Amino acid sequence: MKREKRKQKMMKRRITALLMSMMLLVLTACGGQTVVEEPTEAMSEMTASLPTTDPSGASIVIPDQVDSVVALAPSICEVLVALGVEEKLIGYDLQSVGIAGLPESVPTFDMVNPDVEQLTALAPDMLIVSNLSLYDQEAPYQPLIDAGVCVICVPTSESVEDVRSDIRFLAAALRVSGEGERVVDEMDAELERLSAIVSDIPEEERKSVYFEISPAPYLYSCGSGTYLHEMIELAGGRNVLADQSGWLSVEAETVVADNPDVIFTNVNYTDAPVEEILGREGWAGVSAVMNEDVYYIDNMSSSLPNQNIVTAVEQMAKALYPERFAAQ
């Protein structure tokens, strides 16, 4: 009984954190970034070509040399590994623990509420955060800025084009622009390959999709204007919630009425999420449930907007149209 209660408490915490995070995805900036001066004429030619604003719109000055970095978002950490600059990381967020390529035995931080005092003492050349870090405080990183740390905010991407822009920005800020182009080119080549396999399917024959990112009783999904919506379309699907926009709290009755052909879930904090949907009360008449067309999609590649979205797009496309991939 005690174990079950602990499990229920843990699930509630995870659901609360997920809902908070998904609601915050609509934000476009990190509050509290102090605007600093533009690079001076005395700066080197190399420095002058560096970004002078971050993706949140705040002015930044990239140090002449960046040898130490702290990154507080899994999506950002994965990009840094892909760019080959992971050896510069001297700290990262707890959610990134376990990502292949990250250095071990370095300090880790709560992504939403990091210890600013510990960060300041660590004294990195650069701190890279998303819009989820200390979102509700004014000027949360002022102590680091005052100490000369370059604080950069990369808000959660809203589109696949934003993913490209953010990769290129991070590459430019770390002086590996060529690697940034390589990562983007490789991502685009895979997306084009997958899209080509399903591109000739007429619109009226494309399967309808409901993508669940939080299970009952707190259903959560996405509408248009999100990178996940674009990923569904790249895989050849039709998002049943396309008439709505952004990240959405969803009523079960809405999904049942939309009657999707296929249901995807990337929920990884409950046991057997696919089986739970297949046995969900009131959903027996949904086409996807009747035909057992409910599939788990890799959580990391479908929830972190970076170059690894290709993995989730491929998984979705193969689940939607397995016959088209039989010879692949």
pLDDT, tens digit (0-9, with 9 covering 90-100), for 163-205: 999 999 999 999 999 999 999 999 999 999 999 999 999 999 9
Query: Using one digit for the tens of pLDDT, what is the confidence trace for 93-139?
Result: 999 999 999 999 999 999 999 999 999 999 999 999 998 886 667 78
pLDDT in tens, 228-246: 999 999 999 999 999 999 9
* Cβ(36)–Cβ(61) below 8 Å: yes
Predicted confidence at residue 136, as pLDDT, reads 67
**Is the per-residue pLDDT at 43 higher than 60?**
no
- Cα–Cα distance measured from residue 38 to residue 40, given in angstroms and rounded to the nearest whole number: 6
Q: What is the pTM of this model?
A: 0.85
pLDDT confidence bin for 21, thresholds 50/70/90: very low
Query: In this structure, which amino acid lies at residue 94?
Result: L
Q: Are 170 and 86 in contact (CB under 8 A)?
A: no
Per-residue confidence band for 48, with pLDDT thresholds at 50, 70 and 90? very low
Choice between 37 and 93, residue whose per-residue pLDDT is larger: 93
Res. 297 pLDDT band, cuts 50 70 90: very high
The pair of structure tokens assigned to 232 is: 């569904």
Between 21-35, 47-61, 137-151, the lowest mean confidence (pLDDT) is in 21-35
* Residues 187 and 309: beta-carbon distance below 8 Å: yes
User: Has residue 35 got a pLDDT over 50?
Assistant: no
pLDDT above 80 (res 298) = yes
